[in-house]
Amino acid sequence: MSQPPEEESARPLRDVDLRAAERGVWLVKVPKYLSEKWKRASGKGEVGKLKIISTKIPGAQPEVTFSMNEAQAQVQVPGRGTATPKEHKFKLTGVGNQNLVVFSENKGEGTTAAEITERIAIEGKVIQRAECQPVVDKSYMQLKKRHVEDSNKPKREIKQITGVVTTYKPVSNHAANIEHEKKIKEGGKRIRDERDVVTNKLFEIFEKHQYYNIQDLVRLTNQPVTYLKEILQDLCIYNMKAPHRNMYELKPEYRHYKEQK
Amino acid sequence: MATNVQQVAVSKPGASSGSQGNASEYVVRVPNDPLKKYSMIKFASGTDIDFLKLSHGKVKMERENNLRQYKTIYNLDAMPKFGAGSEYGREQKEEARRKKYGINIKKYNPNDQPWLMKVGDGKDCKRYKGVREGTISENTSYYIFTKCADGAFEAFPIEEWYNFQPVVKYKYLNSEEAEEEFSRRDKTMNLFSIMVRKRIKNEEETEEKPEDKKDKKKDKKSLILTDMEDWMETEDEEEEEEEAEEGAEKKPKKEKKEEKTKRRKNAKINADDEAVEESDEGDFDDRELDYISDSGSESSLDEKAKNDKYDDQGVDQEKGLKKLIDSEEESSEEENKEEDEEDEEEEAEKEAQSKKEKKKKKDSKENNKEAGGESDSSSSSSDSDDSDIDKNEDKFSSVLFMQEKKRSSRPNTPTVEKLEIKTEPKSEGGIKRKIEAEEGGAEKKVRTESPAPSLKTSASSSSISSSGEITEEAIRHYLTRRPMTAKELVQKFKAKKSQMSNEQLTQKIGQLLKKINPGRKYIKGVMYLSLEKTE
């Protein structure tokens, strides 16, 4: 949509960067409150530590725990309290037979003003799925309580107003009308130009579009209506049937429109 | 347990021993790069793609551009925006109208359009289309944890999910066709024929060339027990046609066409039969013996008779009924046949004199319209198209014939009369007569009531005007009939006397008019000349 004349044709396919295609990545489902905090990470973006304990028992999944930094934990999320649990466990699950691939779009700074340069790159393949679940403690309970309260509040509220609303008052003459009348008074009546001049002007006008309304023509040519109508009777035909009802168009002998491609 | 974990968390990064096993710690980073946007590709289950194998191959992706479809759906581009055919201020008007009525069109967002992916290159490529999946829930977000070179984890949020499916280029049956074929699945042996049939149907519909009929005809099995036999037959025919096709091109196509249409018909019939059977809850009519029909109860029939029973013969065609029905229809059929013959003859005549036909048709229409209102036949003749006064003469003959015809008790007379009248000597007048005859048919009664006076007047008037001279008599005659403008008078004579120029005509008419001095009426601002009727 940033291109002024919108393209309708199919765009050519862009090359995809496959350098990181062999990477294995984890897909982790993270609760909302946690992700909101993470979004507000400052500096390098360190949010916490991930601890992986691989068990010696064969066949069992390793334990993964995520613990948040102190600093990070204090980050204020507007609308919510800071009380978030610090410990989260990752519940690991397999990918199943789904084929999940991650790709990224890199919006360039705009080398040329008209084009959005985007580099598409494959970031990796999902090898492990995990769910980030909080270790339940008091703070978590409080958080959830608040959450439930918030969501149960109705989104629209009825408030009683104390004063008088003064937006609409009955007025003898509205501002817009006053302006309009003033404009007409000052603008004065339209003056008739020479016939040739008006005719030339009309030809110019009709080059841009084929059908015109009488009011539009009056406005564009700045001629009085009756005079203009006279001239139009010579030059134009008046369409009475749809699709261009009540519109003037040049007579065939006067027009030479090129065929639209 | 919890305390254990806490202690471990506090300790320095690195491997530390625990009762369960090796523990390692990693720092988690969530970089916040506003420019990079991550999305997930979910391939349909069973799709065979592995980017690892293709890492040296090419992969290309791009958004689909559906702007054109979007515009056609909402008719945004129906009219040109400038130049020929465009209106001034059209766009604004449309927008204002939409706002007024509160019509909200969803804006076209190119970032919501599906992705097109192409894997591999050249002919060997595989194409996929990825449609966005909605409902990324409000309470969860997905992050991708990747391990970095420095041993830390980086987490990126995934913003969009796309479901990628391979793009099919082969043709498939739509749901209706699939239902049909499914119902026949026990009977079809050759599954290839299904798609072949479909393809041929399409060709048929687009085919427009007329083709010669094939000479050879196939002996079709008259009894078709199951669809199998039907398909087998037509398959055999197809194969034969394909062999012969190398030689003759047109003929087999036509034959195929016939076959297909027949098959189609059969298919329809079959479908109907099946439907009927299913819904028939047991009127038990088939158990009744229809006296006239030949079909009896099933048990008494042997194999052949049973087969014959399934033969497609309507009840009315069965021997018993046929006679009855036929005898009734005989009389009416004969009549229709005769009329048809006459029509053909009449048409042949018409073609011979095709030039005048159009004019005549116009005449006849006018005649028929006015004929209903007029009771005087002679006046009606003058109301009829003005240029042909010869008709009056012929009317004389037509009226005579009509009197004769009256005796035959035929309800539809016009066509018959035309036949009879064509024997008249004047060939030119033939078609005119037909018109008269049509008109005559409409008001035959009136005419036969008063044939005598009409004959007289028509005879006299015809003799005057048929000569074609511009005489005072002729003008008088016209003006008596009805008031006319001077122009009409001129027109009348123009046809007669095409040799004279307009000026001469008008001069002459003017002179004569002065002599006659007709009365002048003004109707709607036009001056009409008329003469009072003198009897």
Residue B115's nearest CA partner among A105, A6, A1 is: A105
**Cross-chain residue pair B87–A247, CB shorter than 8 Å:** yes
HSE, CB side, 13 Å, CA atoms: give it for residue B261.
7
- Candidate from A8, A26, A38 with C-beta closest to B144: A26
Helix or strand or coil: residue A171?
Answer: coil
**Beta-ladder partners of B26:** A50
**Cross-chain residue pair A14–B62, CB shorter than 8 Å:** yes
Exposure class string for A197-235: b at 16+ Cβ within 10 A, else e: ebeebbeebbeebbbbbeebbbebbebeeebbbebbeeb
What's the pLDDT score for residue B327? 59
The rounded average pLDDT for each run of 10 residues, N- to C-terminus, in chain A (261 residues) is: 59 81 88 84 78 77 79 68 78 86 78 57 88 86 88 89 81 83 80 88 86 87 88 86 78 71 42
Beta-carbon contacts of B410 under 8 Å, excluding residues fewer than 6 positions away, are B416
Residue found by looking up tokens 């987490």 in the block: B155
A 97-126 near B (Cβ less than 8 A): 97-108, 120, 122-126
Please tell me the distance in Å from A164's CA to the nearest CA on chain B: 30
Q: A209-211 and A236-239 as β-strands: parallel, antiparallel, unpaired? A: unpaired
**Cross-chain residue pair A125–B52, CB shorter than 8 Å:** yes
Residue type, A167: T
Residue of A nearest to B93 (CA): A213
Integer Cα distance of B61 and B63 in angstroms: 7
How confident is the prediction along chain B (535 residues), in pLDDT tens digits per residue? 444 433 333 333 444 444 456 788 888 888 888 888 899 998 888 777 776 666 567 788 888 888 888 888 887 777 777 777 778 888 888 889 889 998 888 888 888 889 998 887 777 778 889 998 887 766 778 999 998 888 888 889 998 899 999 888 888 888 998 998 899 888 888 888 888 888 888 888 887 555 544 444 444 556 666 667 667 666 555 555 555 444 444 444 444 454 454 444 444 444 444 444 555 566 666 566 656 655 555 455 555 555 555 655 566 665 555 666 665 555 555 555 555 555 555 554 555 454 554 455 445 444 444 444 444 444 444 444 444 555 554 554 444 455 444 444 444 444 444 444 444 444 444 444 444 444 444 444 444 444 444 444 444 555 555 565 678 888 888 888 888 888 888 888 877 776 667 788 788 888 888 888 878 777 777 788 877 655 4
Contact in structure between B142 and B158 (CB atoms under 8 Å): yes
Say whether residue A89 is in contact with chain B using an 8 A CB cutoff.
no
Residue type, B479: L
Say whether residue A6 is in contact with chain B using an 8 A CB cutoff.
yes
Neighbour count for residue B39 (Cβ, 10 Å): 19
Neighbour count for residue A98 (Cβ, 10 Å): 14
Optimal mutation site among B12, B32, B52, interface A, most CBs of chain A within 10 A: B32
A 163-202 near B (Cβ less than 8 A): none
Note the ipTM here: 0.75
Residue B361's nearest CA partner among B385, B325, B393, B334 is: B385
What's the pLDDT score for residue B326? 60
What's the pLDDT score for residue B283? 61
Give me the sign of the Cα torsion angle B403, B404, B406, B407: positive
Integer Cα distance of B87 and A248 in angstroms: 10
Optimal mutation site among A127, A131, A210, A250, interface B, most CBs of chain B within 10 A: A210
- Tens-place pLDDT, residues A222-231: 888 888 898 8
Please tell me the distance in Å from B28's CA to the nearest CA on chain A: 5
Residue found by looking up tokens 């005007």 in the block: B465
Q: Which residues of A touch B89 (CB under 8 A)?
A: 213, 216
3 state SS for B195-222: HHHHHHHHHHHHCCCCCCCCCCCCCCCC
Residue B236's nearest CA partner among B219, B215, B261, B254 is: B219
Integer Cα distance of A181 and A176 in angstroms: 9
Q: Which residues of A touch B43 (CB under 8 A)?
A: 98-101
Q: Which residues of B touch A68 (CB under 8 A)?
A: none
Give me the sign of the Cα torsion angle B356, B359, B360, B361: positive
Residue found by looking up tokens 């350098």 in the block: A19
- Tens-place pLDDT, residues A48-103: 888 888 877 777 677 888 887 777 666 666 666 666 788 888 888 888 888 888 98
Long-range contacts from B79-84, C-beta under 8 angstroms, 24+ separation = B79/A243, B80/A260, B82/A208, B82/A209, B83/A208, B83/A209, B83/A210, B83/A257, B83/A258, B83/A260, B84/A210, B84/A255, B84/A257, B84/A258, B84/A259, B84/A260
With 0-12 CB in 10 A as exposed, 13-18 as middle and 19+ as buried, what is B434? buried
A 203-222 near B (Cβ less than 8 A): 208-213, 216
Integer Cα distance of B160 and B158 in angstroms: 6
Please tell me the distance in Å from A124's CA to the nearest CA on chain B: 9
Integer Cα distance of A203 and A185 in angstroms: 30
- Candidate from A32, A50, A123 with C-beta closest to B38: A123
Please tell me the distance in Å from A163's CA to the nearest CA on chain B: 32
Neighbour count for residue A52 (Cβ, 10 Å): 17
Look up residue B99 and give its two tokens: 């706002």
pTM for the complete prediction? 0.50
Contact in structure between A247 and A236 (CB atoms under 8 Å): no
Q: Which residues of A touch B157 (CB under 8 A)?
A: 35, 39
Contact in structure between B29 and A46 (CB atoms under 8 Å): yes
Neighbour count for residue B464 (Cβ, 10 Å): 16
Integer Cα distance of A173 and A46 in angstroms: 64
Contact in structure between B377 and B447 (CB atoms under 8 Å): yes
Residues in chain A: 261
Degrees to nearest 5, angle at CA A56 with A55 and A62? 20
- Cα-based distances in Å from B470 to B389, B480, B501, B506, B509: 13, 16, 13, 11, 7
